[in-house]
Amino acid sequence: MQRFILRSKNQITAISAILILTAFLSRWTTGGIQVFEWALIIASVIGAAPIAIQAYQALRVKVVSIDVLVTIAVAGAFLIQNYEESAIVTFLFLFGAYLEQRTLNKTRSAIKELTELAPETALKRMEDGEFVEVSVDEVDVGDILLVKTGAKVPVDGTVLSGEGSVNEASITGESIPVAKEPGSKVFAGTILDNGTLQVEADRVGEDTTFGRIIELVEEAQDSKSAAERFIDRFAKYYTPAVLVLGILVWLFSRNLELAITVLVLGCPGALVIGVPVSNVAGIGNGARHGILLKGSEVISDFSRLDTMVFDKTGTLTVGNPSVADTEYYGDNIDEALSYLASIERESDHPLAKAVLEAIGEVKTFAVEGTEVVKGAGIVAEVDGHRAAVGNVALMQRENVALTAKALADIAIFEQNGNSLVLTAVDGELKILMGVRDQIRPGVKEDLQRLRRLGVKNLIMLSGDNQGTVDVVSRELGLTEAHGNMLPEDKAAYIKKLMEEGRIVAFVGDGVNDSPSLALANIGIAMGGGTDVAIETSDVVLMNSDFRRLPHALGLAKATARNMQQNIIIAVGVVLVLLTSLIFSDWMNMSIGMLVHEGSILAVILNGMRLLRYRLRD
């Protein structure tokens, strides 16, 4: 019976509303008191039933909940035959609970949307080579699956054959499709926009990146910050204190209605719900934008940080060297580029790929008599010409004359942090290329946004040489930059900053920087969903997009502010209600309950604003 009544709370609320409306219509139209009173009595009884059951369940576990206060207040009003008050109070309390649940469900919409994206079936290759539709629960690691246009990828896996474009918004928050080909990785829950793929399952079920994202967001939304834990403890003692206050008021005033009104006005509902709703909505907003915030404790620390430390490669820079500057000397440059491409095509040096990408499609020749000069470069015969490709030391060894202009260009290239690739043909310098890891597009503007959000110190730590680090630091306007640092050196530096009293966030790629990610107050992984990134860090930017970082910080600050606003609203309303009760004669139980439920709705709606949060430039 109890379960049936609790399941029918919404229907009871609707019936109660109809009865109250009937009562007042009867009184206003016919003036009949009997219909008025009986309609309110029935509304009071059926409305009090679910509240009383919840109060009983709370008392069984020795908790004096809000339901206990309202049940006592309604019973008292009923005993003094104030049926109007008892009916309206029960209706408002039930209707407030309905609105609270409905709006809370909206704040959890990010989880709902993610869950709905989870694949349920897969086309699995059977022993006879045919593909048969099965439940995703029947897919094991190593199975071969077929994904058709418009279908969800059912597992984390590797493309074996086929090509297509996959919408990875459920993982990265980025809606631009990503091209896939044999050897590419795909993730469960993403959608194949076009093409057909055969995929080998690497991870299935809850072990997929998508499954872990859902789990992390659920855990984060259910976690409690220090503020929430304090409010829980506060409510645990505050609610019994209100009950004691109501009893004292009755003992000293002998005014039962006044004592009952104190119980209603003192309900801490908005205070209890205000902080969790902000937390849930903020984390939900992050999930929609490809940002995983691991709990409200993370949000609290993140919102207060004053120092942000960055790894260089793959975080502030793209992570792949490319040709940044080029100068040509003399004639027959096209031939020189062909000779350079012919030599670099056979090289396994890290700079060779960058040079070949910069040259593009050109005619190539057979390379003969190759001589590798350790630490300097390569000398070879190409199309009957002697070609030398390497650094300045190789040019000096080959007696290549460097003009004043060439020497000036070399100096400028080095100042810009380039690794030099010089090409000489038959003893004459033809090409000078500067190769460096390019700064991510838009990073400078994003760093300025972080400064405007209150980050005082922007520091870069890198394993690269100090010269290269200084070039990047000057271009980005960083506070400090330190090179030649191993992972353990970075961790030690983070520890030193924290010992100085700074609140530090470390931003890295989640692999070799995992010690620093774990040590910092806030570890932020540009991890693209990698295992180490998700497990070690406090915040994950799922698509490794640096532009998400200012949004993440702005969201954390907005969420922290929202929590404070909700606490002020909740406490302020209770103080105003109790003050009005003492110093005015218009305050009564019905008005108090209406304002009380209004305050709950106010803090919920205030929290829901975070779902639409966007960082303004």
Q: What are phi and psi of 364, to 5 degrees?
A: -120, 160
Check: CB of residue 19 under 8 Å from CB of residue 40: yes
Q: Which residues contact 562 (CB under 8 A, 6 or more apart)?
A: 278, 281, 282, 606, 607, 609, 610
Q: Which two tokens stand for residue 266?
A: 């003192």
Check: CB of residue 395 under 8 Å from CB of residue 410: no
Check: CB of residue 150 under 8 Å from CB of residue 192: yes
Is residue 322 within a helix (H) or strand (E), and if so which, with residue range? strand 317-328
Check: CB of residue 374 under 8 Å from CB of residue 345: no
Query: What is the spatial distance between Cα 8 and Cα 113, in angstroms, rounded to a whole number?
Result: 27
**Residue 28, Cβ density class (10 Å: 0-12 exposed, 13-18 middle, ≥19 buried):** exposed
Instruction: Decide if 331 is catalytic.
Output: no
CA atoms in the 13 A half-sphere facing the CB of 352: 14
Query: What is the spatial distance between Cα 181 and Cα 331, in angstroms, rounded to a whole number?
Result: 41
- What one-letter code names the amino acid at 41? I
Q: Which residues contact 433 (CB under 8 A, 6 or more apart)?
A: 323, 325, 326, 355, 358, 420, 421, 422, 423
Chain center to CA of 151: 26
Is the Cα dihedral 448, 450, 455, 458 positive or negative? negative
Q: Which two tokens stand for residue 486?
A: 């191993």
Check: CB of residue 537 under 8 Å from CB of residue 510: yes
Q: Which two tokens stand for residue 465?
A: 């040489």
Q: Which two tokens stand for residue 491?
A: 């961790």
Pick the closest to residue 39 from 76, 91, 80, 4 (CA basis): 91
Spot the catalytic one: 67, 143, 301, 311. Answer: 311
Residues carrying an active site annotation: 311
